[in-house]
Chain A
């Protein structure tokens, strides 16, 4: 079961392209991006270790249930709503960026809303499913996509046109700069796959051991460095700053000599369709479950056959919000929103780590709320 945890680590590492992490980092390539990497790697790894260790003490409980154990209902609900906003907005940003990417590179003639509509409907349906179904979907698609994406990344890494001088220039120049805050926030995103344990811990069995945690820094560092340095190497230190969807343009520099498809871009985009839909499914589902946890009427369920109707209403609201967002914003506003989200996410993550440490401390001291204990006993 531990593999489900690492699926999240893996795919958040890969999806960073869609929340514009490379764009933010590359914007600061001469000022503090590189020097913030070591900090981000240490910080992200530390956070992952702490949260996984803390959640291990609460087997089968999601974050909302843990809130209920230690806090009055109203504080718990406020925290839940913060969770809803964080997760759901991530889904909306990715959905918008991706449908835009598709619009630019795939169907420039088609209506932007058509792409958004089919993707939003697909994620709407996927997010309303039960947690277990979401987890299964996640596993299947990730296993299909990851090898090909890694192959594309390696292909880019070993491409003869990759200019290592440009990379060296940026790396050696950047490392002497003082680290930049925004780059630090953006870079830690690559490591924040562990955040999804907040909901999916509900599915974890009692005897779960978090083995192979040493993989987290390795995987995260790999994706971070590749998604920052490879575009620089392929476009050069100056031209790389011209693009918003920098990775789509980067993969377009690659070519497959054999086979039906020549431009790697198309393969890359099709694979990232899966990944983006997965991301939206996961985030919306998490947001939806957090929202449901505010009401006593919806006890945490992970494998219901017929999902409650509220699922549809919540996700439908999110879909409408996405359309509203798409109507009122454009790429530039979205870029800003993504940056704000990246910063907010870091603070939410920090708060979560602090809260979890506090909860573990309270649990050791036996400071659980009486009602919660009774409720547990009653089950």
Chain B
């Protein structure tokens, strides 16, 4: 057996193989020590084989214990080994022993979707552990789990989770079909998975939601929707989603109703601001200053007195600065990040205004845009909004205020035209899954 395995795997240096002989019987063993729980292996295989050896008992254990699998075809051996199983050959038969090293024994802390008073546990990079988190929180017999083993390079297991009594059959079929079609490249993160599930590469809004919070996943399941967990990723993919789902932080469920309603409203306002404010600035300054009351129009124009170029150059300049700043403080190490923000935000902004490169109103616009885009609770969604803002800027350069309004109309049409796995993406008053698509299909 050992020769066969070495041949299959190309004899890597981290593969440990051994042939053991205790005087009565021989045992061949092959494993990747880094992936195997050596303590369990020692306790349940090596000790019984060496100094407490009893041939009958040992054979009985191999045959009856549920950690040992018999009769695995030889072409699947390497697959099991690569996932951290141990191969044992004893008395002419090959057993696969399941003692995988669990690196993860506590849930992670939430990092991306922080909650003040909600559960602090987040998913880990281990699928079994994540399943435990979900099962603990969504503790009903109706929870169904389907395993998918995609035939790609990373071979990470996928688990499709849903509530049997509540799910929508057509959506489920569609998702299953797409999960089976996953391509053959490397699949490393939930973000990649969600891109592959969404099919269309160029979309203006996400049709899946990525979350690290088990409580979000469970509320989602409870609405009759589906979730996909990927082994090796600490994020789950939720689908189908609605536009409105991206506007909720989990805290909204845990905090006083009035406050959370207020916050949701705030987020919508923030989204609209971050989308349209630069475009509105351009159209007000360059096309229709008379829309604003006269004092305000004068203030804006006065603050632009020193600026030598048209408003859209000013806007593009400042938007470039703020995007660069956000990107820099995201990628830099934590300690340097705050310095970058200070230098960029405070000093450059102030200096640019005093030097007459941009108007002071523009500095305010830029910071409102940046802050508003951080208010959105979902980072993927916030990215989409951030890039969409440039479409509005572009149309305002050519068509002014009317252009911005028409672009808003087009955006609403686009949203209403979107379907997330067969369910309408942006339809009001349709909380029940499948209600809208159900009666017409």
Contact = CB atoms under 8 A, between A and B. Distances in A.
Given A119-B406, A260-B292, A260-B296, A303 B441 contact: yes
A260 B293 contact: yes
A71 B109 CA distance: 69
B405 A130 contact: no
A28 interface: no
Interface string A302-315: 11010000000000
Nearest to B404: A270
A262 interface: yes
Interface string B418-441: 010000101111000000110111
B152 interface: no
B16 interface: no
A122 B410 contact: yes
Interface stretch (A132-140, A170-178, A217-225, A321-329): A132-140
A126 B410 contact: yes
Given A107-B287, A140-B426, A270-B405, A133 B413 contact: yes
A152 to B, nearest CB: 15
Given A106-B288, A261-B292, A137 B405 contact: no
Given A102-B402, A273-B405, A274-B405, A137 B293 contact: no
B416 interface: yes
B289 to A, nearest CB: 11
B271 to A, nearest CB: 14
Nearest to B403: A118
A259 B417 CA distance: 34
Contacts of A143: 428
B107 to A, nearest CB: 39
A119 B296 CA distance: 29
A278 to B, nearest CB: 8
B410 A125 contact: yes
A139 B430 CA distance: 12
Given A205-B439, A262-B294, A277-B406, A118 B413 contact: no
Interface in A318-338: none
A281 interface: yes
Nearest to B409: A277
A115 B416 contact: no
A114 interface: yes
A273 B402 contact: yes
A130 B405 CA distance: 22
A215 B399 CA distance: 39
Contacts of A126: 409-410, 413
B392 to A, nearest CB: 13
A136 B405 contact: no
Given A102-B402, A106-B402, A132 B440 contact: yes
Given A107-B400, A140-B428, A274 B296 contact: no
B13 to A, nearest CB: 52
A293 interface: no
Contacts of B405: 270, 273-274
Interface in A266-287: 266, 270, 273-274, 277, 281
A130 B419 CA distance: 12
Contacts of B292: 260-262
A106 B401 CA distance: 9
A101 to B, nearest CB: 11
A267 to B, nearest CB: 9
A205 B437 CA distance: 12
Contacts of A106: 288, 400-402
B8 interface: no
A129 B437 contact: no
A322 to B, nearest CB: 15
A305 B419 contact: yes
A260 B296 CA distance: 7
Given A137-B416, A270-B401, A122 B409 contact: yes
Interface string B322-353: 00000000000000000000000000000000
A110 interface: yes
Interface residues of A, number: 39
Contacts of A3: 429
B371 interface: no
Given A261-B291, A262-B292, A118 B402 contact: yes
A210 to B, nearest CB: 18
B253 interface: no
Given A118-B406, A260-B293, A274-B405, A110 B400 contact: yes
Interface in A232-274: 259-263, 266, 270, 273-274
B197 to A, nearest CB: 16
Contacts of B410: 122, 125-126
B437 A140 contact: no
Contacts of B296: 260
A150 interface: no
A354 interface: no
B258 to A, nearest CB: 21
A281 B406 CA distance: 12
Nearest to B280: A260
B412 interface: yes
The residue in B296, B417, B437 that gathers the most chain A C-beta atoms within 10 A of its C-beta is: B417
B272 to A, nearest CB: 11
Contacts of B400: 106-107, 110
A125 B290 CA distance: 31
A30 to B, nearest CB: 35
B440 A141 contact: no
A130 B412 CA distance: 14
A200 to B, nearest CB: 12
Interface in B280-310: 287-288, 290-294, 296
A140 B406 contact: no
B399 A274 contact: no
A203 interface: yes
Interface in B363-421: 395, 398-403, 405-406, 408-410, 412-413, 415-417, 419
Nearest to B436: A132
A102 B404 CA distance: 13
B265 to A, nearest CB: 14
24 contacts: A102-B402, A106-B400, A107-B287, A107-B288, A118-B399, A122-B406, A122-B409, A125-B410, A126-B410, A129-B413, A132-B424, A137-B412, A143-B428, A203-B440, A260-B296, A261-B293, A262-B293, A262-B294, A263-B290, A263-B291, A266-B291, A273-B406, A277-B409, A305-B419
Closest 5 CB pairs of A and B: A136-B416, A262-B293, A133-B417, A137-B416, A126-B413
Interface of B: 287-288, 290-294, 296, 395, 398-403, 405-406, 408-410, 412-413, 415-417, 419, 424, 426-429, 436-437, 439-441
Given A114-B398, A114-B399, 17 more contacts: A102-B402, A118-B395, A122-B406, A122-B409, A126-B410, A126-B413, A132-B424, A133-B417, A136-B416, A136-B424, A140-B412, A140-B416, A140-B426, A205-B439, A260-B293, A263-B291, A277-B409
